[in-house]
Amino acid sequence: MSSLLPQQITAIERFKKFKVGALFMDMGTGKTRTALELVNYNNVDLLIYICPASANIKDNIQAEIDKWGVNCDYKIIGYETIASSDRSYLELLNYIENKKVFIIADESAFIKNEITIRFERLFNLRKYCEYALILTGTPITKNEWDLYNQMYFLSPKIIGMNRQDFLNSFFKKVTYKKSYQREKHFYKFSDVNAGALYKMIEPYIFNASLIFDKETIKNTVKILYKDDEYYEVKRECLERIKRSGNCNENDIINMLTKLQVVAACYDVKLDKLCEYVDGRRVIVFCSYLNEVKYIAEKIPCLVITGDTAQGDRAGIIREFESGNAPLVMTFGVGAHSLNLQACNEVVYSSISFDYAKIEQSEGRIRRVGQQNDVKYTYFMCDLGINKMMIENLQKKENLSYLVKEKIQKGEIEEWVKSL
């Protein structure tokens, strides 16, 4: 068995004295082994390991347990299963009764929304567990509100205030309205009290960045867009804004999504991408199923989407790791928890509005143990929507807040024109 890495040793020593903790460790830094070492240290009866429900993610967790070992009974169960299956949830509640239990919530951003059956059931399970860890490399996917429910899952005592008090203490209320419209508002994190928040949670958090000794290369292949469809969609968006006079946030986001779909599915761009990846062991990430379908019909490749049977996914990954065909995946199924360092290049047919998905997808190959330099290649049309998305991702801004601010300032029409 290989020795623990320095960051793993530090994290274990930190949390030996606590019953709860957050391993906010970058992908590839060994947070799963760190968590398992803490389970073994505390000599519990049962480990409940909660993760995204994908079969290949579960297989990856099982492989980690097989590799490093755990000295107690354990169950691996998906977030989605807990939320959707009354039977599985009730069986789990009965199973943990009268046991000394350690619960781990992997990819803990999945528990950030309290208005869900998932959160309610997870928090109820947590009540019966003496020890708890949350694991993620991206604890904040939208703003610092994401931290509240993750800390609340560990213990309500960490922050020590209810949600409304937390909102009032750490967020600024922003109000906006247009002529003849009802006043609207949203909340934006205030940097003024950021220090106080981080002081509250700092004892229970361990951060670790990946020390990566290989070169990271990023390259963009720019495609000249020559079709009319994008501009027709944009014109329809502008006409709708002028006609209605009602800049609803969801309507604007839907309009932006339509522009992104057109840009992502442009056949000239996809043809160039197919030429680039054909016969090569690279990962291709797509935002939309239409992209996946086009590529799969054009060249020999392996495919994993939400429609791929759970039992087939591990076999597809093994075939990818031993072959020379690209693996084409959607962000939803491929961005989390997979170790694909047998490959050293990720190709993006399109990008996501969600920064966390991009970061997670990059982490599939950028890990401890990667033997080669890593490369990220982006195929992008020369369109305003792509430029906006890249700038937004670089700032790690949330699209919803960006749209609300444009509405507040009365800049939506000019902004859409610029795309």
Give the model's pLDDT for residue 368.
67
Contact of 204 with 18, CB cutoff 8 Å: yes
pLDDT value at residue 325: 94
Cα–Cα distances in angstroms (integers) from residue 6 to residues 14, 18, 30, 31, in the given order: 12, 20, 10, 12
CA 192/CA 384 separation, integer angstroms: 34
278 and 344 in a single domain? The answer is yes
354, part of any domain: yes
Structure tokens at 304: 């994993």
250 and 175 in a single domain? The answer is: no
- The DSSP code sequence of 278-334 is TTS--EEEESSHHHHHHHHHHS--EEE-TTS-HHHHHHHHHHHHHSSS-EEEEHHHH
Q: Are residues 237 and 89 in the same domain?
A: no
In the prediction, which pLDDT does 347 show?
A: 96
Q: CA-to-CA distance for 10 and 25, rounded, in angstroms?
A: 12
Q: Domain for residue 350, yes or no? A: yes
Tokens describing residue 1 = 């068995």
CA 262/CA 248 separation, integer angstroms: 22
CATH code (residue 121): 3.40.50.10810
**What's the structural domain count of the chain?**
2
Q: Residue 5 has what pLDDT?
A: 85
Distance CA 302, CA 317 (A): 9
Q: How far apart are CA 289 and CA 61, in angstroms?
A: 27
Phi, psi angles (nearest 5°) of residue 117: -65, -35
Residue at 258 is within a domain:
yes
Confidence (pLDDT) at 93: 94
Rounded to a whole number, what is the distance in angstroms from the first to the last CA of the chain?
54
Q: Say if residue 38 is in the same domain as residue 132.
A: yes
Q: Nearest Cα to 367, choosing from 1, 5, 3?
A: 5
Per-residue pLDDT at 212 = 64
- The Cβ of residue 389 has, within 10 Å, a number of other Cβ atoms equal to 23
Alpha helices in 50-179 (DSSP H): 55-68, 79-84, 86-96, 117-126, 145-154, 163-170
Asked whether residue 57 falls in the same domain as residue 203, the answer is yes
Q: Do 63 and 170 reside in the same domain of the chain? A: yes
The CATH number covering residue 301 comes to: 3.40.50.300
Q: Is the same domain home to 203 and 220?
A: no
Q: Which domain holds residue 12?
A: 6-208
Instruction: Tell which phi-psi region holds residue 375, choosing left (phi > 0), alpha (psi between -120 and 50) or beta.
Output: beta
Residues 275 and 404 in one domain: yes
Interatomic CA distance for residues 207 and 187, integer angstroms: 27
* Residue 152 maps to a domain: yes
State the pLDDT at residue 65.
Answer: 94
Average pLDDT across each block of 10 residues of the chain; the chain has 419 residues. List them in order. Answer: 85 94 86 95 96 76 91 93 92 94 91 85 94 87 81 93 89 68 70 83 84 81 93 85 71 87 95 96 94 96 86 85 92 69 92 82 78 91 90 74 75 81
